[in-house]
Amino acid sequence: MLTVRQTPSRNVFSLDGVWDFRVDRNNCGVDDGWYDAPLKDSRPMPVPASYNDVVTDTDVREHVGVVWYQRYVQVPRNLGDDRLILRFGSATHAATVWVDGSEVMSHEGGYLPFEADITDLVEAGGSFLLTTAVDNRLSWHTLPPGYIHKDTQGNDVQKYMHDFYNYAGIHRSVLLYTRPAVSVTDVTVVTDIDGCDGIVSYTVEAEGAKAVSVRLLDADGNEVARAEGAKGELRVDDAHLWAPGDGYLYTLEIHADEDVYPQTVGIRTVEVKNSQFLINGKPFYFRGYGRHEDNIVRGKGHDNVMLVHDFELMKWQGANSFRTSHYPYAEEVMDYADREGFVVIDETAAVGLNIGLSGGLFGAPEGVPTKTFSDESLDARTQQVHEAHIRELIARDKNHPCVVMWSIANEPESNTEESYDYFKPLAEAAREADPTRPVGYVNVMLAPPSMEKCVGLFDVVMLNRYYGWYVDTGNLVDAEANLRAEIDGWIKLAPGKPIIFTEYGPDTLAGLRDFHRRPWSEEFQEDMFAMFHRVFDDVDEVVGEQMWNFADFQTVSGIIRVGGNKKGMFTRDRLPKSAAYDVRKRWLAMRDELGF
């Protein structure tokens, strides 16, 4: 799906602001026609934002089910023959949208955009009532999955197997935009390098267009190549490559009849070879973090201030990459990573596909199936939802040079035949949807090399490991020995595959200092990182260190979570913990030695 851009042929109007909002406590909104008239008893709610922490009412924060958003929208005058499209950047986790009482679309999955052509329902120069019902419930057929527990008073309590709070609402911008009746609806760009030249292959979709042509402009707006037709190949002499730390972008200006659409292009290649991860043919070492879209008050609501600030912090620390743990991030984040030259492992919302792990770590689920993959839990329908989600993510992000790999799941069960059967078609679907990038999944410590069944389906080994924290707690001597032994096991099991550590690190309470350097203290975080880094430096096959987490973040309450997960390098309000300085020293030195 194309990102929305303002162009000479397209106008974009933001519908962000303060909308009317109402919780549907009895789940009666649809039956009672809430979409057909101004919401009664509404309260104000900002868009985009999670609603949970905006309010002070606990029952709204913890509501399980549907909430309603509404506002009036002014339609532009002078629409002519243009089409008018209504687009949500995301609504978590499912949404249905009405325009003046007519249902125009519904979408499942909380982290990807959806849009509808509403031209025939509205009048140029008039206004319409826009209503959206957003459902935050998780089931065995959603990603991430979850289940509803009835408490002893019969109330619904949402349970889930992942470790971040189930923020909900309209998390990303809502836009209204126009495009000509015949217009560009999709483009796929694939780049290659030939000596000093760049090759840009493109395929444009523009149904009904009589004439399609493209011009490739450099960052100063100079034309460097052009072609006619919806499909073709451009050669860029002496190309300025997109590279880590050098987010150089060309623009493919696409003309389809009256329509003009600018697609940014970074010329670069990605390849996995001989235990190395190559970008533009050169070995790349990932330095960075798993992150979350998580902020005080706004929850998972996108915010450009925090976007730029977080990148500033990452650059300050010498990071060059991150993983979109554990769901697709806002399009603004991906655009910004492109232009800042950050390298991204793009992850689906498939997190928590592991009943064994959640039982062990986050409290045994009551009355739920004990098997992860079964007819009672994650089943064939979940697999279909997962495949559709992978394809939707790739359709959205395929043209981002920052994306160097797809991660199709975080810490799923991967040590059973059932997990192999579940993931085999999904890995194939990802490769079919994008033959140009490596595909991986992130392995959990419950599936070490002696038990792992799925690694053969993937191009890299991505490991989340907590030696010194969840195991060998506080004992970094044993932790180091066990970490080294496990890495040896992976090298034997998956020869030739590079290993990226996608999580490691202890919970650390900012301000807790300790002469004895014990767990939870800032000193222990320094020591645990130092130990992991010592090990990484000894192993050629390790090509990346992305610690857990960039910043402290909100989770459900629990006996292992004190006001959220505290494994941040930065606090939730983005202040550095003491280990941040050690890591900065290491990463800046690596940056100087290896390039970005």
Give me the active site residues, please: 411, 503
Provide the token pair at 126: 């008039």
> In the bound complex, what is the minimum distance in angstroms from residue 466's beta carbon to ligand GCB?
7
* 56: DSSP letter: S
SS3 assignment, position 34: helix
Total residues in contact with ligand GCB, by rule CB under 6 A: 9
User: Angle between the 417-433 and 380-397 helix axes, to the nearest 10 degrees?
Assistant: 30
The correct pick among 3, 464, 508, 525 for binding ligand GCB (CB under 6 A) is 464
71 — phi, psi (to 5°)? -160, 160
The residue sitting closest to ligand GCB, measured at its beta carbon, is 163
* Cβ distance to ligand GCB smaller for residue 503 or 545: 503
> In the bound complex, what is the minimum distance in angstroms from residue 351's beta carbon to ligand GCB?
6
Residue 548 makes contact with ligand GCB by CB under 6 A = yes
- Residues 169 and 105: beta-carbon distance below 8 Å: no
Nearest Cα to Cα of residue 442 among 472, 405, 394: 405
Residues in the chain: 596
* Cβ distance to ligand GCB smaller for residue 114 or 548: 548
> In the bound complex, what is the minimum distance in angstroms from residue 370's beta carbon to ligand GCB?
20
> In the bound complex, what is the minimum distance in angstroms from residue 547's beta carbon to ligand GCB?
11
> In the bound complex, what is the minimum distance in angstroms from residue 443's beta carbon to ligand GCB?
10
* Cβ distance to ligand GCB smaller for residue 268 or 291: 291
> In the bound complex, what is the minimum distance in angstroms from residue 467's beta carbon to ligand GCB?
12
d(CA 329, CA 301): 11
Give, as ranges, the residues between 407 and 436 that touch ligand GCB (CB under 6 A).
410-411
d(CA 288, CA 271): 20
* Cβ distance to ligand GCB smaller for residue 46 or 352: 352
> In the bound complex, what is the minimum distance in angstroms from residue 410's beta carbon to ligand GCB?
5
User: Angle between the 579-594 and 522-538 helix axes, to the nearest 10 degrees?
Assistant: 30
Nearest Cα to Cα of residue 292 among 163, 405, 386: 163
User: What DSSP assignment string belongs to 498-559?
Assistant: -EEEEE----B-TT---TT--TBSHHHHHHHHHHHHHHHHH-TTEEEEEEE-SB-B----BT
The correct pick among 565, 570, 590, 596 for binding ligand GCB (CB under 6 A) is 565
- Residues 566 and 579: beta-carbon distance below 8 Å: no
- Looking up tokens 């697709």 gives 328
* Cβ distance to ligand GCB smaller for residue 382 or 554: 554
The correct pick among 22, 179, 533, 567 for binding ligand GCB (CB under 6 A) is 567
d(CA 237, CA 221): 16
* Cβ distance to ligand GCB smaller for residue 39 or 444: 444
Give, as ranges, the residues between 503 and 522 that touch ligand GCB (CB under 6 A).
503
Could you give the string, one character per residue 148-187, with x where binding to ligand GCB holds by CB under 6 A and - elsewhere? ---------------x------------------------
SS3 assignment, position 315: helix
SS3 assignment, position 365: coil
Could you give the string, one character per residue 273-312, with x where binding to ligand GCB holds by CB under 6 A and - elsewhere? ----------------------------------------
Residue 324 makes contact with ligand GCB by CB under 6 A = no
> In the bound complex, what is the minimum distance in angstroms from residue 557's beta carbon to ligand GCB?
14
* Cβ distance to ligand GCB smaller for residue 295 or 399: 295
Residue 577 makes contact with ligand GCB by CB under 6 A = no
Give, as ranges, the residues between 185 and 244 that touch ligand GCB (CB under 6 A).
none
Single-letter amino acid, residue 138: L
SS3 assignment, position 49: coil
* End-to-end CA separation in angstroms for the chain: 31
Binding site for ligand GCB (CB under 6 A): 163, 326, 410-411, 464, 503, 548, 565, 567
